[in-house]
Structure 1
Amino acid sequence: MSPDQQHTVFAAGDYNATVEFYWAPFLLESNSDNAVVHRISERMVRRGSIDYHGRHWRGADVIVFNTYLWWCTGLRFRILNGPWESAGTEEAVTWVSTEEAYGMAFRDMLQWVRDNMDLNTTRVFFTSMSPTHQKSQDWGDAPGGNCYNETAMISDPGYWGSDGRRSVMRVIREILDGDGSDVPLTFLNVTQLSMYRKDAHTSIHKRQWSQPTAEQLADPKTYADCVHWCLPGLQDTWNELLYSKLFYP
């Protein structure tokens, strides 16, 4: 297994089972689809392109979808309405709100499920947004900090960080309650419980893509990863929720 591959497969031959991870941060085809080289400032997805990735998902007995953070680079998002060769022309690109773009991808995902999955035998899940902890003032600490050196969870049951876009959560709920209600999808809402865990990120304890500078080493919070999570940890709880919904629906 390699973290650098777009499609990673773990096979358990004795059980005739595989667990697969597929990198498609927007579900639709995008200019960030390379599993390693995807640090692009102006991200863009191609309209109607979900089968570009979806062809690799067919035949799954259980499929868990997730897409969120990559959409949230601003208030607007670029949609390519034609082939990639036309991406440099203004006529081929439409700017829409992030919520509209997200809703388009979510509806395309549901339509792909309708067209490609046997819903009598396949279980379909969608996991809600995973929050970050980049701003210490969100939980009442002095500005300028983040998850670095945090060792306790947030105790306020009503806490909601500034990075969590409720508008995106509303898009999901409105579609699932509306024109997507015919798809038997199980929604795994991990957002609120994850909001409390400012202490659960990898912080500086991870492989760095580049060697930290002397200035960064002198101030570790400048390169602390407050997006991804430690293993094991919070994601064990996510897995328990998935297990309970899978076997005790």
Structure 2
Amino acid sequence: MMNKIIKCPRVTSIFAVLFHNLQAYNVKVMFSRNAFLVDIIATKAGRVLKLDSIESGKMWKGIDFLIFNTWHWWLHSGRKQPWDLIQEGNRMYKDMDRLVAYKKGLNTWARWIDTNLDPKKTRVFFQAVSPDHNK
């Protein structure tokens, strides 16, 4: 959408992350495809959703606008579920009520935002539950 409004923004792609450097406005916008806010890591036991870890948040520092969109992705199960286990602290779970897991992950994300970002320099936008588009 931003590409349609602002002519020729400089876009850099690193892995699944897009950086828009709008030099005319002295603004950096990052689109990171991290639908779960917290980390998913590969281990010998499988892919682990870590409810209390945001190592990937290091990329968010120094960005002027951060836009987060989540919840919908937490509902996926079976083949579409991108994790095999859920970890909170030292405890591992095969599964967990999705609303409970989402709340724990969201609390971790909110603490990270409050601790690591300066609200005078970075604007954070958050969209949670969106209308159901499967009906």
Q: Normalization by structure 2: what TM-score?
A: 0.67
Equivalent residues of 1:11, 1:18 under 8 A apart: yes
What's 1:112 paired with? 112
In structure 2, do the counterparts of structure 1 residues 14 and 124 end up closer, same or farther at CA, with 3 Å as the change threshold?
A: closer
Determine the structure 1 residue equivalent to 2:71: 68
Aligned counterparts, 1:1-249, within 5 A: 1=11, 5-30=15-40, 44-50=48-54, 52-73=55-76, 78-81=85-88, 92-135=92-135
Q: CA deviation at 1:28?
A: 0.8
Structure 1's 4 and 123: CA in aligned 2 closer, same or farther, altered over 3 A? closer
- Separation in 2 of the partners of 1:134 and 1:82? 35
2:53 corresponds to which letter in structure 1? S
Task: Give, in angstroms, the shift of residue 11 of structure 1.
Answer: 1.9
User: What residue ranges of structure 1 are gaps of 5+ in the alignment?
Assistant: 33-41, 84-90, 136-249
Alignment CA distance shift 1:122-1:16 (3 Å): closer
**Identity value in percent:** 29
Q: CA–CA distance in 2 between the matches of 1:20 and 1:133?
A: 25
Give the root-mean-square deviation of aligned CA atoms. 3.1
Q: Which has the higher contact order (CA 8 A, sep 6+)?
A: 2
Q: 1:116 to 1:45 in 2, by over 3 A?
A: same
Partner of 2:80: none
Give ranges in structure 2 of 5+ residues lacking alignment. 1-10, 78-82
Structure 2 residue matching 1:124: 3-state secondary structure: strand
Distance in 1 (CA, whole Å) between partners of 2:71 and 2:34 is 11
Take 1:43 and 1:69, find their aligned partners in 2: how far apart are those partners? 19
Judged with a 3 Å threshold, the aligned counterparts in structure 2 of structure 1 residues 44 and 132 are, in CA distance, closer, same or farther, namely farther
Cα–Cα, structure 1 residues 114 and 80, in superposed 2: closer, same or farther, change >3 Å? Answer: same
Give 1:3 deviation, angstroms: 7.8
8 Å contact from structure 1 (residues 67, 129) kept in 2: yes
Question: Partners in 1 of 2:100 and 2:113 — Cα distance?
Answer: 20
Q: 1:15–1:122: structure 2 CA closer, same or farther, 3 Å change rule?
A: closer
CA distance in 2, matches of 1:132, 1:116: 33
**What's 2:5 paired with?**
none
Q: Residues 120, 12 of structure 1: CA spacing in aligned structure 2 closer, same or farther, 3 A cutoff?
A: closer
Bigger radius of gyration among the two? 1
Query: How far apart are 1:44 and its partner, in Å?
Result: 4.5
In 1, Cα distance between the equivalents of 2:62 and 2:25?
17
How far does residue 80 in structure 1 lie from its aligned partner after superposition? 2.3
TM-score for both structures, normalised by structure 1:
0.39
- Tell me the distance in 1 between the aligned counterparts of 2:13 and 2:130: 20
Q: Which amino acid aligns with 2:31?
A: F
Q: Deviations over 1:40-70 (max 9, x none)?
A: xx974113211x2110001223322221111
